[in-house]
A and B are shown apart, each in its own frame.
Chain A
Amino acid sequence: MPEQALPDYALRNRAKWTVSNARYTAGRARESWAKDVHWGVWHVPEADVQALPDVSGLDVIELGCGTAYFGAWLKRRGARRVVGVDITPAQLATAREMNLEFGLGLEFIEANAENVPLPAASFDLAFSEYGASIWCDPYLWIAEAARLLRRGGQLMFLRGSTLQVLCSPDVGNVGTALVRPQKGMRRFDWTDDEDGPSTDFHISGSEMFQLLLKTGFDVVDFREIFAPEAAVDHPYYSYLPAEWAKRWPGEEIWRARKR
């Protein structure tokens, strides 16, 4: 995809994820690929959450795949085809290395998940765990996911909770004060990250619900994820204290079906 087609936030996020890849995700990828399905920063096992549909035989696209550990898990669970899409070459390089090592036969495309160079109606499941679900503009990537899915196909994604975003100061960890209005929330430009400036997106629960309805989806599941009682602060994603996330949900999972 031509450089000039990428929006400012995609370029910024690519630079940040290039650094994060070198500092953390490349080193973690092998261990992640080897595991079974779990969710979010607290690694809550899918066995406890039971949010995934049966993926046997499905064509899956992971939007903002990073090192593609989640796509690897879905392939191992029986997905027919898994395509990972990401804009950061360093992340895709790690993903490709793991793919060779584990021999899972995933496919990768360097592209912005808001504009994927693949034909319409070619997937049964569009998926994102902290990928397009937070790094892309929901008004673009959700519509793009709808385009990529076959009728009856499912969209599933994990993102930070609205509450977490409301309680995230510009500098420092998530706290108990509401530091941002929910009214009009959409784009957030962050500078307090050692890996460099980044931009993420979050619209409220009701706006997400309306967006899904308008893009042709029925909402079939909504989960809020707490840190398990035994959880400790994440070594790398430390902005979300475990003690906070035991009381309030730091993450949420949405599942929707294309009409």
Chain B
Amino acid sequence: MPEKKKKKATTLPGYVVRNRASWTVSNAEYTAGSAHDSWAAKRITWGVWKVPEDEIKVLPDVRGLDVIELGCGTAYFGAWLKKRGARRVVGVDITPAQLATAREMNTEFGLELEFIEANAEAVPLPSASFDLAFSEYGASIWCDPYLWIPEAARLLRPGGELLFMRNSTLEILCSPDDAVVGEKLIRPQKGMHHNTWQDEEGGGKSTVFHISGSEQFKLLRDTGFEVTDFREIFAPVNAVDHPYYKWTPVEWARKWPNEEIWRARKR
């Protein structure tokens, strides 16, 4: 396969290498251990507060759809979509440790997902081969939006949908380099694109991308999408601080949305 050979020769960008190292640590610290519970969950939930899908109702009917999860991690969301009737679910991730967990769960749960180790900005799959491109805190924050969104557009069939969750712009504006999210604007929104963070315990660094709502809207329009939904997610009243993703205090997220969901349809 000449295409595969070409991809291998391409060096991964620095942030991908950095994020892979960070996720290798996070896999050992948290996600490998929580994967079984996540895959087994009866309800689909969103984000760090596990807001139930049956309350927010943002997913399309996935029955019979070909789905690609971009930055799948341990692929629990892909598993949920397969259980809901997706015809085919392909998970793409750059971190071998995360994919190893995903494959283990896949065997255990017998859901027959497919996995590819690849950067979601350059997926070695043919164009127009999916009905739904999906990311929950995957490519949606770890990849450059100006690369992964056009790649999602390429992978989708006309009329196909893109659905992703990311941090809210407000959370990024209120995120210091060295402390949890606060109640003050400490970063300009003008020109925002990415930021490299010092990881809490692993000691490494990771790079997260975020463009503002209006830039995200324009990028989607420019890459051939109609924006069909936009949601902001608050912590529910009964939520408590997340045991691992501690950067957003639950009290903050009850007042302000720390996550947002975008849905768009390819023209």
Q: Inside 8 A of B226's CB, which chain A residues have their CB?
A: 218, 220
Q: Which 5 A-B pairs have the closest CB atoms?
A: A181-B255, A247-B188, A206-B232, A224-B214, A209-B230
Q: Given B185, B186, B221, B234, which contacts A183 in the complex, CB threshold below 8 Å?
A: B234
Least distance between B184 CB and chain A CB atoms (Å): 5
B186-207 CB mask vs A (1 if < 8 Å, else 0) is 1011100000000000000000
Q: Quick one: closest B residue to A206, CB to CB?
A: B232
Q: Is the CB of B190 within 8 A of A222?
A: no
Chain A residues touching B, majority SS: mixed
- Interface members, chain A 127-143 (any B CB < 8 Å): none
Assembly CA distance A204 to B260 (angstroms): 12
- Interface members, chain A 207-259 (any B CB < 8 Å): 209-210, 213, 218-224, 226, 246-249, 252
- Answer yes or no: B256 CB below 8 A from chain A CBs: yes
Q: Is the CB of A177 within 8 A of B184?
A: yes
B227-248 CB mask vs A (1 if < 8 Å, else 0) is 1111110100000000000000
Q: Is the CB of B183 within 8 A of A178?
A: yes
Query: What range describes how many residues of B lie at the interface?
Result: 20 to 34
Q: Is the CB of B256 within 8 A of A249?
A: no
- Answer yes or no: A117 CB below 8 A from chain B CBs: no
- Answer yes or no: A166 CB below 8 A from chain B CBs: yes
Assembly CA distance A37 to B212 (angstroms): 25
Interface centre among B186, B189, B226, B228 (most CB of A within 10 A): B189
Query: B-side interface residues toward A, CB under 8 Å?
Result: 170, 173-174, 183-186, 188-190, 212-214, 217, 221, 226-232, 234, 254-257, 260
Q: Given A176, A204, A220, A248, which contacts B190 in the complex, CB threshold below 8 Å?
A: A248
- Answer yes or no: A182 CB below 8 A from chain B CBs: yes
Least distance between B90 CB and chain A CB atoms (Å): 29
Query: What range describes how many residues of A lie at the interface?
Result: 20 to 34
Q: Inside 8 A of A247's CB, which chain B residues have their CB?
A: 185, 188-190
Least distance between A87 CB and chain B CB atoms (Å): 31
Least distance between B40 CB and chain A CB atoms (Å): 30
Q: Is the CB of A182 within 8 A of B213?
A: no
Q: Is the CB of B232 within 8 A of A204?
A: yes
21 inter-chain pairs at a CB distance below 8 angstroms, sorted by A residue, are A163-B173, A166-B170, A166-B256, A167-B185, A178-B170, A178-B185, A181-B255, A182-B232, A182-B256, A182-B257, A206-B232, A209-B229, A209-B231, A221-B221, A223-B214, A224-B212, A224-B213, A224-B214, A248-B173, A248-B190, A249-B212
Assembly CA distance A205 to B212 (angstroms): 12
Assembly CA distance A247 to B191 (angstroms): 9
Assembly CA distance A128 to B186 (angstroms): 32
Q: Inside 8 A of A218's CB, which chain B residues have their CB?
A: 226, 228
Q: Quick one: closest A residue to B169, CB to CB?
A: A163
Q: Is the CB of A206 within 8 A of B170?
A: no
Interface centre among B174, B221, B232 (most CB of A within 10 A): B232
Q: Inside 8 A of A220's CB, which chain B residues have their CB?
A: 226
Given the contacts A176-B184, A177-B184, A222-B214, A183 and B255 also touching, CB distance less than 8 Å: yes
Assembly CA distance A210 to B227 (angstroms): 12
Q: Is the CB of A177 within 8 A of B213?
A: no
A122-163 CB mask vs B (1 if < 8 Å, else 0) is 000000000000000000000000000000000000000001
Least distance between B262 CB and chain A CB atoms (Å): 10
Q: Inside 8 A of B217's CB, which chain A residues have their CB?
A: 221-223
Q: Beyond A182-B256, A206-B230, A249-B214: 12 further Cβ-contacts under 8 Å?
A: A178-B183, A181-B255, A181-B256, A182-B170, A206-B231, A206-B257, A221-B221, A222-B213, A247-B189, A248-B173, A248-B189, A249-B189
Given the contacts A178-B183, A248-B189, A248-B190, A213 and B229 also touching, CB distance less than 8 Å: yes
Q: Inside 8 A of A178's CB, which chain B residues have their CB?
A: 170, 174, 183-185, 255-256
Q: Inside 8 A of B185's CB, which chain A residues have their CB?
A: 163, 167, 176-178, 247-248
Q: Is the CB of A205 within 8 A of B213?
A: yes
Least distance between A6 CB and chain B CB atoms (Å): 32
Least distance between A173 CB and chain B CB atoms (Å): 14
Assembly CA distance A210 to B185 (angstroms): 26
